[in-house]
Chains A and B, each alone.
Chain A
Amino acid sequence: MALLEVKNINKSFGKKKAMTNVSFNVEAGHIVGLIGRNGAGKSTTMRAVTGLMSYSSGSITFDGNPVTFSNHKALDKVGNLIEYPSIYPNLTALEHLKLYAMDTENAADFKSLMHKTQIDGDNFGKRKAKNFSLGMKQRLGIAIALIRNPKLVILDEPMNGLDPQSVHDLRELIRELANEGVAFLISSHLLDELQKLVDDVVIINHGKIIETATMAEFFSHDKVRWVMDTSDKDATVKLAQEHQWIVTVDDGHVQISGAESLQQVITAINAAGIDIQTVNTVTGNLEKSLLDMLANDDKGE
């Protein structure tokens, strides 16, 4: 049984359908990326999972226990950072952690957590949060999400406002916690970062899940391809078609995929008397795959 099970959730705002049969699972120790355009339903989904918003039908269970708008005792072991950090301006970082630690007898060690989330105890630990930068507020929001030693952490755009070093360190921290068995549901527009981090992806478009897959499965949509310039573009395309490879011409360059190897392609082109001027190998790319998938989904509607 998955740690978090979301089954056929529907939600409307008036006549507008915000979620249509949204279903996905999050396994313990897995990092799941919830991906989609602005307004696709990512935050709405996260709010439903955290009991902040009602849903008209479907079910959400965490660790086998139901999570609804009116009953979310199960959320004791779920940490979250949704939309933007929830900060009391008159409290210091340390006071925030003390406040939220009152919820549980099994709170994380403050010093260790502040160290992991790069909250400088000597500085930010004593300053009022109203004087914090956006990045600092974000780090504190992440620390608050982790204070109760949760089994699942839901992070909505956690990299907002973080500098590259902080993004790298957050990625390491998430990976470390996932290795310890903590599950993550993360949304972010920084797809390059997400690509480095997540195990599974859930793609949402117009409130519908259009793909749930492991990262490897997801990239099977977007195979390795070779982008090249040759002495005879048309002949190269014809040759590729004869070999039943996938071939397109994009921005004046010939793109070939579906062959067994680059060597096979080069040998065939050379044998046909065509000169290869340049060749680049392009691997799977989350952004391109996502955009292709969303475009296909939009066409289908």
Chain B
Amino acid sequence: MLTLMKQEYYKALKQNKLYIWLGLGVLVPILVMGVFKSQRGVGSVSDLGHATFYVYLAGIIITALSVSQEFGFGTIRPLLSRRFSRGMIFTSKLLLNLSVYIALFIAALVGTLIGQLIFAPNLDFSTRASYAGNVWQTIGITILGTMFQMIFVAALVLLITNLVKSSGAAIGLGVVMIVGTPILSSISMMLIELAPVLKWNPFNIFIGMAMYGQVAPSSFKDIVHMSQGTVIIAYLVYVIVMYGIAYLIFKKRSV
């Protein structure tokens, strides 16, 4: 497993695009705060200068490419025809993707702090920023919430990528999950109105996770139709099932 991880990191670190993704992660919040005066307040800083959207998008694309490129380059054959099990190979890909997500968040945080120092030096991080608490606490919740959403969407993206061996469809779906939240929310509400049991639909759970820590528990229950704790359990079940299916497809695929 250690060998596989070393090889995954070696391949990733030799790719210029990784540094471009990380560089943009630093630049996006600086540019947002530099260009738009309205984005130099507590709300923007708490959202990493709105770089969470960028981190999300970059994470989804990197996840899809991590598998589809191996098929595209034909490197999947030497990868799978060695002593390692497919489970180990799949896990090494997941761990690499998780590392990249963390690196993207660190890049965005660094960019946010630089932007704050340059464009909003008087901003007080102890100011209450949201239901969750002060600016630091809200940043923490934002990162965690976005990370959880990314893990959810990444499972779906991996599943699709393994199924069709192409990153295009998977990235498209990932983008829809990001930018189409209002549409997904409408679909979800419509489903729940049809039958209350449909509150367990994946869109509702996804939206629940996106809102976690953003609104008070009572309002949360009104919107999602279940408690925060229940959403977390449902989310974990969905994540396990989706990663499980993605792994089974990967495991069964002849190359």
Contacts and interface: CB of A to CB of B under 8 A. Distances in A.
A127 to B, nearest CB: 13
A107 to B, nearest CB: 12
Interface in A71-94: 71-76, 78, 80, 82-91
B73 A102 contact: no
Given A54-B254, A87-B74, A102 B81 contact: no
Contacts of A70: 85-86, 251
- Of B7, B10, B77, the most chain A CB neighbours within 10 A belong to B77
A52 B74 CA distance: 12
Contact of B10 (A51, A71, A76, A99): A99
Given A83-B74, A90-B16, A102-B3, A50 B11 contact: no
B83 interface: yes
Interface in B145-182: none
B82 to A, nearest CB: 6
B10 A75 contact: no
Contact of B15 (A71, A85, A90): A90
The interface residues of chain A, by DSSP majority, are classed as loop
Given A87-B74, A87-B75, A72 B10 contact: no
B21 to A, nearest CB: 14
Interface residues of A, number: 33
- Of B6, B7, B76, B81, the most chain A CB neighbours within 10 A belong to B81
- Of B6, B11, B82, B86, the most chain A CB neighbours within 10 A belong to B82
A88 B3 contact: no
The interface residues of chain B, by DSSP majority, are classed as helix
A258 to B, nearest CB: 47
A100 B255 contact: no
Contacts of B255: 47, 52-53
B229 interface: no
A144 interface: yes
Contacts of B7: 99, 102-103
Given A47-B254, A88-B11, A89-B73, A72 B78 contact: no
Contact of A84 (B14, B74, B85): B74
Interface residues of B, number: 23
Contacts of A144: 78
Interface in B60-93: 73-78, 80-83, 85-86
A51 B11 contact: no
Interface string A37-58: 0000000000100111110000
Nearest to B252: A54
Nearest to A92: B14
A95 interface: yes
B15 to A, nearest CB: 5
Contacts of B251: 70
Contact of B14 (A85, A95, A102): A95
Contacts of A87: 73-75
Contacts of A86: 73-78
Contacts of A82: 77, 81
A24 to B, nearest CB: 19
A103 B82 contact: yes
A235 to B, nearest CB: 61
B75 A75 contact: no
30 contacts: A47-B254, A50-B77, A51-B81, A52-B77, A52-B80, A70-B85, A70-B251, A72-B82, A75-B81, A75-B82, A75-B83, A78-B81, A80-B77, A82-B81, A86-B73, A86-B75, A86-B76, A88-B11, A88-B14, A89-B73, A90-B15, A90-B16, A91-B14, A95-B10, A95-B14, A102-B3, A102-B10, A103-B3, A103-B82, A103-B83
Interface of A: 47, 50-54, 69-76, 78, 80, 82-91, 95, 98-100, 102-103, 144
Given A80-B77, A82-B81, A87-B73, 18 more contacts: A50-B77, A51-B80, A69-B254, A71-B85, A72-B82, A74-B83, A75-B81, A75-B83, A78-B81, A83-B77, A86-B75, A86-B78, A87-B75, A95-B10, A99-B7, A102-B3, A102-B6, A103-B7
